[in-house]
Amino acid sequence: MNYYIVIPAHNEAQFIGLTLQSIIEQTILPNKVVVVDDNSTDTTAEIVLAFAKEYPFISLVNKTSDAIHLPGSKVIQAFEKGLETLDNHYDFIVKADADLIFPSNYFETIIQHFRSDDTIGMVGGFAYIEKNGDWILENLTDKDHIRGAFKAYRKATFEQIGGLKPAMGWDTVDELLCKFYNWKVVTDESLHVKHLKPTGANYNKASRYKQGEAFYSLGYGFFITTIASVKLALRKGKPLLFIDYIKGFWQAKSAKKPLLVTEEQAKFIRAYRLQKMKAKLF
List Cβ neighbours of 137 (8 Å cut-off, separation of 6 or more).
126, 127, 128
What per-residue confidence (pLDDT) applies to 236? 81
Residue 162 lies in a domain: yes
Give the domain-ending residue among 160, 195, 230.
195
Tell me the pLDDT band of 197, cut-offs 50, 70 and 90.
confident
Tell me the pLDDT band of 205, cut-offs 50, 70 and 90.
low
Residue 25 lies in a domain: yes
Same domain for 224 and 143: no
Residue 96 lies in a domain: yes
Same domain for 154 and 181: yes
**How far is it, in rounded angstroms, from Cα 91 to Cα 102?**
20
What per-residue confidence (pLDDT) applies to 146? 95
**For the chain, how many structural domains are there in total?**
2
Residue 75 lies in domain: 3-195
Name which of 177-186, 234-243, 247-256, 273-282 the model is least confident about: 273-282
Same domain for 265 and 174: no
Beta strand 184-195 pairing with 120-131? parallel
Same domain for 122 and 144: yes
pLDDT digits (tens, 9 = 90+) for 232-252: 888 888 888 899 999 999 999
Same domain for 162 and 26: yes
Name which of 60-74, 127-141, 172-186, 211-225 the model is least confident about: 60-74
pLDDT at 259 over 90: yes
Give the domain-ending residue among 165, 195, 225.
195
Q: 153 with 92: CB under 8 angstroms?
A: yes
Name which of 8-22, 35-49, 179-193, 209-223 the model is least confident about: 209-223
Query: What share of the chain has pLDDT > 70, as a percent?
Result: 93
The mean pLDDT value for 203-220 works out to: 80
What per-residue confidence (pLDDT) applies to 209? 84
Same domain for 46 and 176: yes
pLDDT at 83 over 90: yes
- Residue 30 phi, psi dihedral angles, 5° rounding: -70, 155
Residue 191 lies in a domain: yes
Same domain for 140 and 69: yes
One DSSP character per residue, 33-79 reads EEEEEES--SSHHHHHHHHHHH-TTEEEEEE---SS--TTHHHHHHH
Give the domain-ending residue among 139, 173, 195.
195
Residue 200 lies in a domain: no
Tell me the pLDDT band of 142, cut-offs 50, 70 and 90.
confident
pLDDT digits (tens, 9 = 90+) for 148-165: 999 999 999 999 999 999
Residue 85 lies in a domain: yes
Same domain for 123 and 63: yes
Q: What's this model's pTM, rounded to 2 decimal places?
A: 0.88
pLDDT at 219 over 80: yes
Helices 263-281 and 221-235 pack at an angle, to 10 degrees, of 50
Same domain for 71 and 134: yes
The mean pLDDT value for 164-184 works out to: 94
Residue 272 lies in a domain: yes
Same domain for 230 and 183: no
What per-residue confidence (pLDDT) applies to 280? 76
Same domain for 187 and 215: no
Q: Which position has the higher pLDDT, 33 or 280?
A: 33
CATH of the domain at 22: 3.90.550.10
Same domain for 57 and 102: yes
